[in-house]
Structure formats: structure tokens, C-alpha cells
């Protein structure tokens, strides 16, 4: 599910670039930065899960090559459970801010308390 969700960010970001001219440049720039950063964070988590899945379900049945053993060990050492939880929480915060910025673009800054807070933080009152 996470891998599919990450892959869905690709057309979403591309579509956003197509309609970016319809909105003020300043908010588009901030929204785009948060969207791309969110995609990177969730992409790292998805990559870790994909490597773990391949290691467990595919390479466990065959002889491992040296390069795959290196990737698998690197994955285990970098993406420990605590790291994944931290990345997931960071991704949630980034996704919330990205959504609020999208809401500001679509409906205006005063649509709800979160969009108002995000608007005040990034663009002042």
C-alpha cells in the first residue's frame, strides 16, 4: 500500500506543475517544496519496505548475490524500526502542511483553523 501510495505521488506532482500558473507563485513554491519533501520521506519508507519484502520473500528462496546482501544489510542498519517511526511521523507532519497549503490555494486561508495557522506561519497575518 505504501509503495502504491508513493507511486501515486509522481502523477500528482506532475499535475500540480501543470496547474501551478493558476495560483500565486509564492504559495505554489512553498506547497511544491512540501509536496516533494513529503514524497521523498514516504519514498524512503517505501524503499525500505520494498527491500525488506524482496529480501524476505524472493531472495530467501534463492542464493543471495553479494550486492543484494550489501543492500539488505544497509537497509537493516539504516532503516531500523525507530527510524521508520520517525520518518513516518515526519511524513505525517509534512503531508498535513502540504494539504493545508493546498486547501489555502483552493479555498482561501480562513477555511479552517489549520489552514489559518499554516497561512500565518508561512505568509504572516
Higher-pLDDT residue of 93, 20: 93
How far apart (Å, rounded) are the C-alpha atoms in residues 78 and 74? 6
Residue 64 has pLDDT above 70, yes or no: no
Higher-pLDDT residue of 6, 119: 119
Buried (b) or exposed (e) across 24-43, using 16+ Cβ within 10 A? eeebbebbbebbebbbebbb
Residue whose grid cell is 527491500: 51
Domain ranges for the chain, please list them: 2-123
Looking at residue 6, its pLDDT comes to: 86
Nearest residue to 59 (alpha-carbon basis) of 70, 48, 68 = 68
Beta-carbon count within 10 A of 62 CB? 8
Confidence band for 61, pLDDT divided at 50, 70 and 90: low
Looking at residue 125, its pLDDT comes to: 74
Amino acid at each position: 500500500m505504501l509503495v502504491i501510495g508513493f507511486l501515486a505521488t509522481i502523477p500528482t506532482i506532475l499535475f500540480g506543475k501543470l496547474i501551478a500558473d493558476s495560483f500565486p507563485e509564492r504559495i505554489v513554491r512553498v506547497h511544491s517544496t512540501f509536496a516533494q519533501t513529503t514524497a521523498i520521506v514516504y519514498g524512503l519508507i517505501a524503499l525500505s519496505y520494498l527491500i525488506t519484502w524482496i529480501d524476505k520473500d524472493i531472495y530467501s528462496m534463492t542464493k543471495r548475490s553479494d550486492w543484494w546482501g550489501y543492500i539488505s544489510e544497509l537497509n537493516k542498519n539504516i532503516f531500523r524500526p525507530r527510524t521508520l517511526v520517525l520518518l513516518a511521523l515526519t511524513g505525517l507532519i509534512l503531508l498535513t502542511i502540504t494539504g493545508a497549503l493546498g486547501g489555502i490555494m483552493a479555498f482561501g486561508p480562513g477555511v479552517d483553523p489549520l489552514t489559518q495557522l499554516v497561512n500565518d506561519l508561512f505568509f504572516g497575518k
